[in-house]
Structure formats: structure tokens, C-alpha cells
A and B are shown apart, each in its own frame.
Chain A
Amino acid sequence: MDQRQQRIKDFLARFFRNHDLGPNDDIFGLGFVNSLVAVQLVAFVEKEFGIRVEDADLDLDNFRSIAAISALVARKTEQPAAGG
């Protein structure tokens, strides 16, 4: 798990008590993520990595796992966000 993934894991850990979250674990499938967590997850990703999550990014698959979130951050940081 790289440093970015670890930072995501550290944030998610508070919602996943007693579960060692793997990089490809489906966080929706594990049943821990409700709408309250979803809202905070977007805010966390934006603040922690300095990106702006747009409507086009709100595909569940972009937030399904630590690896998926990390990949989204990588795409957003490598390509300046389109306006909108």
C-alpha cells in the first residue's frame, strides 16, 4: 500500500472498526458506508489531496475501494480539473 493509499485507509479506518481494510476491499459491499460517510469521504479527498470532486467523478466505482479512490486522486492531480 503506497503513501496515498495509506492516508485514505487512515481516514476510512474510523468507520471500519475492527476491520483491517485492504486496498481492493469493496467498502460499499462491507456495509460500512452510508450517506453520512459518503459526504465526508468527498470532503476528505478534496481537502487531503487538494482536488475538486465534480459531478462527473461521482461514479460509485471511483469510491469503491482504497485503490479506486487513490486512482481517482491520481487522475485528478495529473490532469487539471476541467471547469464546470
Chain B
Amino acid sequence: MKVELTASQRGARAGFRSFAAAEIAPHADRWDREEALPRELLDKLRTSGYLGSTLPRELGGGGHDMITYGLLSEEIGRGCSSVRSLLTVHDMVAQAILRWGSREQKERFLPALARGELLAAVALSEPGAGSDAGSVETAARPDGADFVLDGRKKWTSFGQIADLFLVLARCAGQPAAFLVPRLTPGLTATPITGLLGTRASMLAELAIDGCRIPRENLLGRVGVGLSHVMATALEHGRYSVAWGSVGIAQACLEAALDYSRKRQQFGKPLADHQLIRAMLTDMITRVRAARLLCLRAGHLRDSGDPGAFMETMVAKYFASTVAARAAADAVQIHGANGCSADYPVARYLRDSKVMEIIEGSTQIQQITISQFDFQEF
């Protein structure tokens, strides 16, 4: 296996890094405090082609391979996890439509998603259904040419502003996925505020009361809404979150290196204290290991290898725990300063905790990964 970026991928990464340094990182703490992303940023993301960047060029997308998309997730995530989250959930829906949508659905939704004219979000979790996604209670009832949906969705990232929701419901007891426009009568989004991390992700709770959805908005057949449609979205989400976690860990490492060079204690820089060096070394090693796992998952995804599913899960599991550990150590190295709003490491710590919960918690990944290897060996 050759672990090397192509010239095109390196060039793309430089562009992502430059964009994040100019347009994202300097503002991320303010967006975190304000618990919102500004409209101007969304316009810049649209203009840059970062929304729907993995969609094929013929549909108006960026045609990014999975490695390039991973680099985008890392660099944007290094600046602000909420912005990375915006790209993640939007692309989760785009990928699900690309994979399982009818020709009509692809033509209707994908060009608009590629241009960012439509902003998409995933409505999966419910007040009573988190890790156990199969237990969703939102109900879809066939009624003439339509389905009528009733239920509650919670923790929907960018639910405050998304134009289109991928909603998992149950239809006659079977999972079914629907594309639900925001303006559907009966759909109400209530902002969720005061979150621990990724506070600018503009989460919402969705009330779905008698929403009438035409049959042509059923994505995939009834019965495969979770096992195939939502699985496609979630695998893509895990992949993006894995890279985004590498971005957080990298940001922690850079902040810790910078601070430990400048901060003097006991007459010498923190960097000259061996216990600080040990933390930095672990951080450096784990970040590199996590990035390698992400690259491997990306290569397998690009080649359509069936092993991509598990390798993506392994990458997400490891990278999210690396981010959490790196953030905790970065705060530790910063001491009291790390606990203040004067340095971004406190935000990294709060955001990293979220990475261990979204798109499959650390414990769900542990169960699934071990279950798979018990099956195989």
C-alpha cells in the first residue's frame, strides 16, 4: 500500500488549509459563543464548492475522491468542528441520494445540493432512539399517492437552517427513509442551545405532525431505509467525522507545541520539561496513526472495497478517541489558561467529546468492531 498523496490532493489540501486559516479559524471561538454560523460563511462555502464536493462533476459537484474529501474534513475540522459538521451532514444526504435515489430524485435534488442552494441534514435520532437507530418511532403511513409522517426527531445538526431532511421512519414496522423539505406543512424546527460542544452546529428538535410526503420522496424501498439508505449516509458521516477528529487532534498538537515553546516555568520553556515532552510525543504519534487509518479507509472507499465499511469504523473509533485524548492533554499543558476562553483548546476539548458520541458512539464502535472480527476469525 502506497501512503502518499497525489499532486492534485496536495494542492487541494493547500487550498482547504488556506481557506480555513482565513475564513474559519479566526472566527470559530465567536461562532461557538454565538451558537450559530453566519450566512456569509455559508455563501463562501457555496462559492468554494465545499458543499457537495463528493458529488460527480456532471451533477455540478466537485468530483472529489474520498482522500480529497477526507483532507477537506480534516482541514475544515481543524478550524471549526461545527463547520465540518455542516459539510458532513450535507454530504451524508447527498451520498444517500446518489447511491440509492431514483433517476428522478437524483436530477431533482443533487444539482441543487451540489450548488449548495439546498442545505441538507439528517433526521435520525429521536428523544428515545439514539444508538438504537432501529427503534425510531416516527411513523410513515401510506395514504393515496402520499405518505403521512408523524413523530419527533432530536439532535438534528443544522436542523435550524436545513432546507431538506433525510428522515428515518417506520412504515408498517419496516424502516423507510424519506426526503422531507423544510417547508412541508406540519414540520416545525425548535433550536437546541447550550450544548457541550460543536455549539455552532445549529441543532434542532423537529416536530413532524401529519407531514404529507409524496411517494416520489421515499428514498429506497420500504424495508431498506436503515440497512442501506441510512447506512450509506452514516458510513459517509463516520468517514468525515474520523478525518474531522484528526483535524481537532492536529489543532490540539499545534496549540500545545506553540504554548509549550513560549510558556516559561521553573526558568525554562514547558517544552524542556520531560513530562510535557511525553504528552507531546504521544500526541504526535497518535495523530499520525489516526491519519493513516483514515487514509486507509479512504483508499478502500475509493476502490469500492467491501472492507471499507469496517476500516471506516475503525478509523472513526480511533481518531475520535485520539482527538479526545489530545484535547485533554492540550488543556493540561495550557494549565489555567487552557480552561479559559482566551485559548481555543477549551473549545477543542468540548468538541472532541462530541466526536466520541456522534455517528456511532465509542462503545457502539467497540461492540461492532469486535463483533466483526469474532465473525471473521
Q: CB distance B224 to A15 under 8 Å?
A: no
Residue from A40, A41, A55, A83 in contact with B100 in the complex, judged by beta carbons closer than 8 Å: A55
B368 at the interface (CB under 8 A from A): yes
Could you list 9 further interchain pairs (A-B, Cβ under 8 angstroms) beyond the known A35-B227, A46-B304? A15-B376, A32-B375, A38-B228, A39-B228, A40-B309, A41-B306, A43-B306, A56-B221, A83-B103
B217 at the interface (CB under 8 A from A): no
Q: Give the residues in chain B near A38, CB-CB below 8 Å.
A: 227-228
Say whether, besides A39-B227, A55-B220, A14 and B375 are in contact (CB < 8 Å).
yes
| Residues of B in contact with A, size category | 20 to 34
Q: CB distance A47 to B231 under 8 Å?
A: no
268-306 of chain B: CB within 8 A of chain A: 303-306
Closest 9 CB pairs of A and B: A43-B306, A40-B306, A44-B306, A84-B103, A47-B304, A35-B227, A14-B376, A55-B220, A58-B224
Q: Give the residues in chain A near B101, CB-CB below 8 Å.
A: 84
Residues of B within 8 A of A (CB): 100-103, 106, 220-221, 223-224, 226-228, 231, 235, 303-310, 368, 371-372, 375-376
Q: Give the residues in chain A near B227, CB-CB below 8 Å.
A: 35, 38-39
Give 1 or 0 for each of A45-84: 1 = CB within 8 Å of chain B CB.
0110000000110100000000000000000000000011
Q: CB distance B376 to A55 under 8 Å?
A: no
Residues of A within 8 A of B (CB): 11, 14-15, 17, 32, 35-44, 46-47, 55-56, 58, 83-84
A17 to B310, CA, bound (A): 19
Residue from A11, A32, A39, A83 in contact with B231 in the complex, judged by beta carbons closer than 8 Å: A39
Q: CB distance A55 to B303 under 8 Å?
A: no
Q: CB distance A55 to B309 under 8 Å?
A: no
Q: Give the residues in chain B near A39, CB-CB below 8 Å.
A: 227-228, 231, 235, 309
- Closest B residue, CB atoms, query A34: B371
Q: CB distance A42 to B303 under 8 Å?
A: no
A36 to B223, CA, bound (A): 15
